[in-house]
Copies of this chain bind each other. A is one copy, B any other.
Amino acid sequence: MVVFSGTVDKLYPVAIMASGAVAMGMDVDIFLTFYGLNALRLGEPQKNQKMDKNYSDIAPMLAKLMKEKNMPSWYDMLKQAKEMGGVKVHACAMTLDLMGMKKEHLDPIVDDVVGVGEFVSNAKEGEITLFI
């Protein structure tokens, strides 16, 4: 999965699909780029409340329902999927460099920093590839 987006509503499918795949014994590689990488800056997962502005008619209701139903956050779901094993979270080297950041500025859920070449060769082996 290439995770380009950084809104909470799109980070949920990332975490949920990662959990589903791991539960089925698959390996998952998440490649964070642009706003997806920014969403995993240190401290950001705990603050991020962004929802897609295209759906301002129903997004606030969905966000409210998630809180009321005590749904775990996408971040906790992803952390749990990682603990089950098989999930690797990679940061895009180019984005990190552009933002003038280093690995230590990212949440510890991020495993390593990779270039696009490594991502492409990785994706080539994958059974499911998604750009989110």
Contact = CB atoms under 8 A, between A and B. Distances in A.
A126 B126 contact: no
B116 A55 contact: no
Interface string A5-45: 11101101100110111011010000001110010000000
Given A12-B34, A130-B129, A131-B132, A26 B120 contact: yes
Contacts of A2: 13, 17, 130
Interface stretch (A61-69, A82-90, A104-112): A61-69
A71 B54 contact: no
A13 to B, nearest CB: 6
A18 to B, nearest CB: 10
Contact of A34 (B20, B34, B62, B69): B62
Contacts of A119: 17, 20
